[in-house]
Copies of this chain bind each other. A is one copy, B any other.
Amino acid sequence: MNKTSIQKIAADLEVSTTTISFIINGKADKYKISKATQKRVRDYIEKNNYQPSSLARSLTTGKSYTIGFLAPDIANPFYGQVGKHIEKRLFQAGYQVFLSSTEEDPEMELKMAQSMVQRQVDGIILAPASRRTLTFLRKSGTPTVTFDRKLPRSKVNFVGIDNYQASFGAINEFLSKNKCRNMLMISITPEVDTLKQRIAGCIDAFENQGLKYPKHLNLTVDYQNLEQSCYEEISRVLEQNHSIDSVYFTNNLTAFRGFYTFSKYHRSRLEKLKLISFDDLPFNEISHPVITGIEQPKEEIANSCSRLMLSLLNEKKDQVKKIILPVQVNWR
Protein backbone atom coordinates (compact mmCIF):
# COMPACT_ATOMS: atom_id res chain seq x y z
CA MET A 1 0.00 0.00 0.00
CA ASN A 2 1.06 3.52 -0.66
CA LYS A 3 2.15 4.30 2.85
CA THR A 4 5.74 5.03 2.05
CA SER A 5 6.70 8.59 2.62
CA ILE A 6 9.80 10.60 2.37
CA GLN A 7 10.10 10.53 6.16
CA LYS A 8 9.89 6.81 6.29
CA ILE A 9 12.59 6.42 3.73
CA ALA A 10 14.64 8.89 5.69
CA ALA A 11 14.19 6.90 8.87
CA ASP A 12 14.85 3.54 7.29
CA LEU A 13 17.89 4.69 5.42
CA GLU A 14 19.12 7.05 8.08
CA VAL A 15 19.46 9.99 5.82
CA SER A 16 17.56 13.22 5.97
CA THR A 17 14.41 14.04 4.09
CA THR A 18 16.21 16.85 2.34
CA THR A 19 18.64 14.46 0.76
CA ILE A 20 15.84 12.31 -0.52
CA SER A 21 13.90 15.22 -1.82
CA PHE A 22 16.94 16.40 -3.74
CA ILE A 23 17.45 13.01 -5.25
CA ILE A 24 13.85 12.63 -6.28
CA ASN A 25 13.81 16.01 -7.91
CA GLY A 26 16.97 15.53 -9.88
CA LYS A 27 18.93 17.97 -7.80
CA ALA A 28 21.20 15.33 -6.40
CA ASP A 29 24.17 16.34 -8.46
CA LYS A 30 23.59 19.98 -7.99
CA TYR A 31 23.80 19.50 -4.26
CA LYS A 32 26.52 16.93 -4.61
CA ILE A 33 24.86 14.02 -2.91
CA SER A 34 27.27 11.10 -2.92
CA LYS A 35 26.64 8.49 -5.57
CA ALA A 36 26.43 5.88 -2.89
CA THR A 37 23.60 7.63 -1.08
CA GLN A 38 21.84 8.28 -4.32
CA LYS A 39 21.92 4.66 -5.21
CA ARG A 40 20.71 3.53 -1.83
CA VAL A 41 17.78 5.88 -2.01
CA ARG A 42 16.91 5.01 -5.56
CA ASP A 43 17.03 1.33 -4.84
CA TYR A 44 14.78 1.75 -1.87
CA ILE A 45 12.30 3.75 -3.92
CA GLU A 46 12.32 1.18 -6.66
CA LYS A 47 11.93 -1.71 -4.29
CA ASN A 48 9.09 -0.20 -2.30
CA ASN A 49 7.26 1.16 -5.27
CA TYR A 50 7.28 4.56 -3.63
CA GLN A 51 5.13 7.23 -5.23
CA PRO A 52 5.77 10.75 -4.02
CA SER A 53 2.59 12.60 -3.15
CA SER A 54 1.86 15.26 -5.70
CA LEU A 55 -0.64 16.71 -3.31
CA ALA A 56 1.92 17.50 -0.69
CA ARG A 57 4.28 18.76 -3.30
CA SER A 58 1.69 21.01 -4.86
CA LEU A 59 0.74 22.31 -1.49
CA THR A 60 4.25 23.40 -0.80
CA THR A 61 5.23 24.62 -4.20
CA GLY A 62 1.95 26.18 -5.20
CA LYS A 63 2.10 24.46 -8.57
CA SER A 64 0.13 21.36 -9.37
CA TYR A 65 1.12 20.77 -12.96
CA THR A 66 -2.45 20.12 -13.86
CA ILE A 67 -4.68 21.89 -16.33
CA GLY A 68 -8.46 21.69 -16.48
CA PHE A 69 -10.29 21.29 -19.75
CA LEU A 70 -14.00 22.00 -19.91
CA ALA A 71 -16.15 21.47 -22.96
CA PRO A 72 -19.86 20.94 -23.45
CA ASP A 73 -19.38 17.36 -24.48
CA ILE A 74 -16.23 15.35 -24.62
CA ALA A 75 -17.97 12.72 -26.72
CA ASN A 76 -18.62 15.25 -29.46
CA PRO A 77 -16.02 14.69 -32.18
CA PHE A 78 -14.97 18.31 -32.24
CA TYR A 79 -14.42 18.77 -28.53
CA GLY A 80 -13.14 15.26 -28.10
CA GLN A 81 -10.42 15.73 -30.67
CA VAL A 82 -9.40 19.12 -29.45
CA GLY A 83 -9.28 17.83 -25.90
CA LYS A 84 -7.25 14.83 -26.82
CA HIS A 85 -4.68 16.87 -28.65
CA ILE A 86 -4.38 19.37 -25.86
CA GLU A 87 -3.95 16.56 -23.44
CA LYS A 88 -1.17 15.08 -25.49
CA ARG A 89 0.58 18.38 -25.99
CA LEU A 90 0.50 19.41 -22.38
CA PHE A 91 1.42 15.97 -21.15
CA GLN A 92 4.64 16.34 -23.09
CA ALA A 93 5.21 19.60 -21.27
CA GLY A 94 4.81 17.88 -17.94
CA TYR A 95 1.20 18.75 -17.29
CA GLN A 96 -1.71 16.47 -16.71
CA VAL A 97 -4.98 17.55 -18.21
CA PHE A 98 -8.35 16.88 -16.68
CA LEU A 99 -11.10 16.67 -19.23
CA SER A 100 -14.70 17.22 -18.23
CA SER A 101 -18.04 17.61 -19.95
CA THR A 102 -20.28 20.43 -18.83
CA GLU A 103 -23.31 19.29 -20.80
CA GLU A 104 -23.87 22.88 -21.79
CA ASP A 105 -25.12 23.49 -18.26
CA PRO A 106 -23.95 26.72 -16.59
CA GLU A 107 -24.39 25.32 -13.07
CA MET A 108 -22.41 22.26 -13.90
CA GLU A 109 -19.75 24.28 -15.65
CA LEU A 110 -19.32 26.58 -12.71
CA LYS A 111 -19.19 23.73 -10.24
CA MET A 112 -16.59 21.92 -12.24
CA ALA A 113 -14.51 25.03 -12.65
CA GLN A 114 -14.69 25.64 -8.92
CA SER A 115 -13.79 22.12 -8.15
CA MET A 116 -10.80 22.42 -10.42
CA VAL A 117 -9.69 25.67 -8.89
CA GLN A 118 -9.94 24.13 -5.46
CA ARG A 119 -7.72 21.38 -6.69
CA GLN A 120 -5.35 24.12 -7.66
CA VAL A 121 -5.10 23.49 -11.35
CA ASP A 122 -2.52 25.81 -12.81
CA GLY A 123 -4.85 26.86 -15.58
CA ILE A 124 -8.11 26.15 -17.33
CA ILE A 125 -8.90 25.78 -21.00
CA LEU A 126 -12.57 25.89 -21.83
CA ALA A 127 -15.32 26.37 -24.37
CA PRO A 128 -17.45 28.49 -22.07
CA ALA A 129 -21.17 27.96 -21.79
CA SER A 130 -21.70 30.85 -19.44
CA ARG A 131 -20.13 34.11 -18.51
CA ARG A 132 -20.37 33.34 -14.82
CA THR A 133 -17.69 30.74 -15.11
CA LEU A 134 -15.41 33.23 -16.76
CA THR A 135 -16.06 35.81 -14.10
CA PHE A 136 -15.35 33.28 -11.44
CA LEU A 137 -12.11 32.25 -13.08
CA ARG A 138 -10.96 35.81 -13.43
CA LYS A 139 -11.67 36.53 -9.80
CA SER A 140 -9.85 33.43 -8.73
CA GLY A 141 -6.84 34.50 -10.74
CA THR A 142 -6.64 31.27 -12.71
CA PRO A 143 -4.89 31.56 -16.06
CA THR A 144 -7.63 30.94 -18.58
CA VAL A 145 -7.80 30.20 -22.27
CA THR A 146 -11.14 29.97 -24.02
CA PHE A 147 -11.70 28.35 -27.35
CA ASP A 148 -14.54 27.78 -29.76
CA ARG A 149 -16.78 30.38 -28.17
CA LYS A 150 -16.20 34.01 -27.62
CA LEU A 151 -18.48 35.85 -25.29
CA PRO A 152 -19.17 39.34 -26.55
CA ARG A 153 -16.94 41.95 -24.95
CA SER A 154 -15.11 39.62 -22.66
CA LYS A 155 -11.46 40.20 -22.08
CA VAL A 156 -10.08 36.73 -22.08
CA ASN A 157 -7.63 34.73 -24.11
CA PHE A 158 -9.27 33.09 -27.05
CA VAL A 159 -8.39 30.58 -29.73
CA GLY A 160 -10.77 29.79 -32.51
CA ILE A 161 -12.12 30.77 -35.85
CA ASP A 162 -14.14 33.68 -37.13
CA ASN A 163 -17.51 32.06 -37.39
CA TYR A 164 -19.12 34.93 -39.19
CA GLN A 165 -16.48 35.17 -41.86
CA ALA A 166 -16.19 31.43 -42.28
CA SER A 167 -19.90 31.06 -42.70
CA PHE A 168 -20.17 34.06 -44.95
CA GLY A 169 -17.33 32.97 -47.16
CA ALA A 170 -18.46 29.41 -47.54
CA ILE A 171 -22.09 30.19 -48.21
CA ASN A 172 -21.19 32.97 -50.56
CA GLU A 173 -19.11 30.62 -52.63
CA PHE A 174 -21.75 27.94 -52.30
CA LEU A 175 -24.36 30.25 -53.75
CA SER A 176 -22.14 31.14 -56.66
CA LYS A 177 -21.38 27.53 -57.40
CA ASN A 178 -24.88 26.21 -57.03
CA LYS A 179 -28.01 27.86 -58.18
CA CYS A 180 -29.62 27.44 -54.82
CA ARG A 181 -32.05 29.93 -53.41
CA ASN A 182 -34.10 28.06 -50.88
CA MET A 183 -31.65 27.01 -48.29
CA LEU A 184 -32.85 25.30 -45.18
CA MET A 185 -30.65 26.22 -42.24
CA ILE A 186 -30.62 23.98 -39.18
CA SER A 187 -29.13 25.11 -35.90
CA ILE A 188 -29.39 24.15 -32.29
CA THR A 189 -30.72 26.65 -29.82
CA PRO A 190 -28.27 29.42 -30.53
CA GLU A 191 -27.64 30.81 -27.11
CA VAL A 192 -24.02 30.71 -27.96
CA ASP A 193 -22.53 33.41 -30.04
CA THR A 194 -20.90 30.89 -32.31
CA LEU A 195 -24.14 29.83 -33.88
CA LYS A 196 -25.51 33.33 -34.14
CA GLN A 197 -22.43 34.28 -36.09
CA ARG A 198 -22.79 31.38 -38.44
CA ILE A 199 -26.41 32.20 -39.09
CA ALA A 200 -25.66 35.87 -39.64
CA GLY A 201 -22.86 34.97 -42.02
CA CYS A 202 -25.23 32.91 -44.09
CA ILE A 203 -27.89 35.58 -44.25
CA ASP A 204 -25.38 38.20 -45.26
CA ALA A 205 -23.96 35.94 -47.92
CA PHE A 206 -27.40 35.80 -49.48
CA GLU A 207 -27.59 39.54 -49.38
CA ASN A 208 -24.16 39.81 -50.89
CA GLN A 209 -25.46 37.78 -53.82
CA GLY A 210 -28.35 40.13 -54.22
CA LEU A 211 -30.71 37.61 -52.64
CA LYS A 212 -32.86 37.66 -49.61
CA TYR A 213 -32.57 34.81 -47.18
CA PRO A 214 -35.97 33.18 -46.71
CA LYS A 215 -36.39 33.61 -43.00
CA HIS A 216 -38.87 30.82 -42.45
CA LEU A 217 -36.17 28.37 -43.48
CA ASN A 218 -34.02 29.29 -40.51
CA LEU A 219 -34.71 26.36 -38.20
CA THR A 220 -33.81 25.88 -34.59
CA VAL A 221 -33.84 22.47 -32.97
CA ASP A 222 -33.60 21.55 -29.35
CA TYR A 223 -30.19 20.51 -28.08
CA GLN A 224 -31.56 18.38 -25.29
CA ASN A 225 -33.89 16.52 -27.54
CA LEU A 226 -32.14 16.51 -30.83
CA GLU A 227 -33.55 13.50 -32.59
CA GLN A 228 -37.19 14.21 -31.94
CA SER A 229 -36.84 17.91 -32.48
CA CYS A 230 -35.04 17.47 -35.80
CA TYR A 231 -37.71 15.17 -37.00
CA GLU A 232 -40.51 17.54 -36.10
CA GLU A 233 -38.97 20.71 -37.40
CA ILE A 234 -37.73 19.32 -40.65
CA SER A 235 -40.95 17.51 -41.38
CA ARG A 236 -42.94 20.61 -40.63
CA VAL A 237 -41.01 22.74 -43.05
CA LEU A 238 -40.96 20.13 -45.75
CA GLU A 239 -44.70 19.83 -45.66
CA GLN A 240 -45.13 23.51 -46.14
CA ASN A 241 -42.46 24.09 -48.61
CA HIS A 242 -41.67 22.18 -51.72
CA SER A 243 -38.98 24.24 -53.21
CA ILE A 244 -36.10 23.65 -50.82
CA ASP A 245 -32.97 23.08 -52.82
CA SER A 246 -30.22 23.01 -50.23
CA VAL A 247 -29.48 22.54 -46.56
CA TYR A 248 -26.95 24.24 -44.32
CA PHE A 249 -26.27 22.40 -41.10
CA THR A 250 -24.68 24.90 -38.76
CA ASN A 251 -22.78 22.41 -36.65
CA ASN A 252 -21.83 18.77 -36.50
CA LEU A 253 -24.75 17.82 -34.30
CA THR A 254 -27.38 19.14 -36.63
CA ALA A 255 -25.39 17.82 -39.57
CA PHE A 256 -25.55 14.27 -38.43
CA ARG A 257 -28.98 14.32 -36.91
CA GLY A 258 -30.42 16.42 -39.68
CA PHE A 259 -29.03 14.19 -42.34
CA TYR A 260 -30.29 11.23 -40.40
CA THR A 261 -33.79 12.63 -40.39
CA PHE A 262 -33.75 13.27 -44.10
CA SER A 263 -32.26 9.91 -44.78
CA LYS A 264 -34.80 8.01 -42.76
CA TYR A 265 -37.95 9.97 -43.32
CA HIS A 266 -37.49 12.09 -46.39
CA ARG A 267 -35.13 10.13 -48.53
CA SER A 268 -36.74 11.15 -51.80
CA ARG A 269 -36.23 14.82 -51.04
CA LEU A 270 -32.67 14.32 -50.02
CA GLU A 271 -31.44 13.21 -53.43
CA LYS A 272 -31.97 16.59 -54.98
CA LEU A 273 -30.45 18.70 -52.29
CA LYS A 274 -27.10 20.38 -52.11
CA LEU A 275 -25.70 19.98 -48.63
CA ILE A 276 -23.17 21.90 -46.60
CA SER A 277 -22.26 21.68 -42.95
CA PHE A 278 -20.25 23.61 -40.46
CA ASP A 279 -17.71 21.20 -39.05
CA ASP A 280 -16.67 18.36 -41.26
CA LEU A 281 -17.28 14.83 -40.08
CA PRO A 282 -15.60 11.91 -41.81
CA PHE A 283 -19.13 10.82 -42.49
CA ASN A 284 -19.67 13.79 -44.80
CA GLU A 285 -17.40 12.21 -47.31
CA ILE A 286 -19.31 8.99 -47.77
CA SER A 287 -22.87 10.06 -47.17
CA HIS A 288 -25.35 10.00 -50.01
CA PRO A 289 -25.40 12.65 -51.18
CA VAL A 290 -22.07 13.90 -49.94
CA ILE A 291 -21.92 16.93 -47.71
CA THR A 292 -19.58 19.84 -48.22
CA GLY A 293 -17.86 20.58 -44.94
CA ILE A 294 -16.50 23.73 -43.38
CA GLU A 295 -13.66 22.30 -41.40
CA GLN A 296 -12.22 23.82 -38.27
CA PRO A 297 -8.52 23.21 -37.76
CA LYS A 298 -8.91 21.09 -34.66
CA GLU A 299 -5.31 20.24 -34.21
CA GLU A 300 -4.22 23.81 -34.74
CA ILE A 301 -6.75 24.98 -32.21
CA ALA A 302 -5.43 22.46 -29.73
CA ASN A 303 -1.86 23.49 -30.38
CA SER A 304 -2.59 27.16 -30.02
CA CYS A 305 -4.50 26.60 -26.81
CA SER A 306 -1.64 24.58 -25.41
CA ARG A 307 1.01 27.04 -26.43
CA LEU A 308 -0.95 29.96 -25.14
CA MET A 309 -1.54 28.24 -21.84
CA LEU A 310 2.11 27.38 -21.45
CA SER A 311 3.18 30.91 -22.17
CA LEU A 312 0.63 32.18 -19.66
CA LEU A 313 2.05 29.81 -17.12
CA ASN A 314 5.66 30.62 -17.74
CA GLU A 315 5.77 34.22 -18.67
CA LYS A 316 3.05 35.54 -16.47
CA LYS A 317 2.29 38.35 -18.83
CA ASP A 318 -1.39 38.98 -18.67
CA GLN A 319 -1.78 40.52 -22.03
CA VAL A 320 -4.93 39.12 -23.58
CA LYS A 321 -4.57 37.30 -26.86
CA LYS A 322 -7.11 36.39 -29.50
CA ILE A 323 -5.90 33.84 -31.96
CA ILE A 324 -8.08 33.47 -35.01
CA LEU A 325 -7.40 30.50 -37.24
CA PRO A 326 -8.56 29.96 -40.81
CA VAL A 327 -11.12 27.33 -41.77
CA GLN A 328 -10.95 25.12 -44.78
CA VAL A 329 -13.92 24.31 -46.94
CA ASN A 330 -13.97 20.80 -48.31
CA TRP A 331 -16.13 21.02 -51.40
CA ARG A 332 -17.91 17.89 -52.40
Contacts and interface: CB of A to CB of B under 8 A. Distances in A.
Interface string A127-155: 00000000010011110000000000000
Contacts of A330: none
A64 interface: yes
Nearest to A79: B75
A81 B64 CA distance: 28
Contact of A87 (B53, B101, B120, B283): B101
Contacts of A53: 59, 118, 120
Nearest to A117: B51
8 tightest A-B contacts by CB? Answer: A75-B80, A1-B141, A263-B286, A54-B118, A99-B99, A98-B98, A54-B119, A49-B139
Interface of A: 1-2, 49, 51-56, 58-59, 64, 66, 73-75, 77, 80-81, 83-84, 87-88, 91, 96-101, 103, 108, 112, 114-120, 136, 139-142, 256, 259-260, 263-264, 282-283, 285-288
A112 B108 CA distance: 26
A74 B75 CA distance: 7
A67 to B, nearest CB: 11
Contact of A286 (B103, B108, B264): B264
Nearest to A81: B75
Given A55-B58, A88-B103, A97-B100, 17 more contacts: A2-B117, A49-B136, A51-B117, A53-B120, A54-B120, A55-B55, A55-B120, A59-B59, A73-B84, A74-B83, A74-B99, A87-B101, A96-B112, A259-B286, A260-B285, A264-B286, A283-B283
A49 B113 CA distance: 13
Nearest to A77: B75
A59 B55 CA distance: 6
Report which residue of A49, A55, A101, A136 has the largest number of chain B beta carbons within 10 angstroms of its beta carbon.
Answer: A55
Contacts of A264: 285-286
Contacts of A260: 282, 285-286
A187 B96 CA distance: 32
A142 B2 CA distance: 8
A140 B2 CA distance: 5
Contact of A141 (B2, B54, B59, B115): B2
B288 A288 contact: yes
A291 to B, nearest CB: 12
A283 B77 CA distance: 14
29 contacts: A1-B140, A1-B141, A2-B117, A51-B114, A51-B118, A53-B59, A53-B118, A54-B119, A55-B58, A55-B120, A59-B59, A73-B84, A74-B83, A74-B87, A75-B83, A75-B84, A80-B80, A87-B100, A91-B108, A96-B98, A96-B119, A99-B99, A259-B286, A260-B285, A260-B286, A263-B286, A264-B285, A264-B286, A288-B288
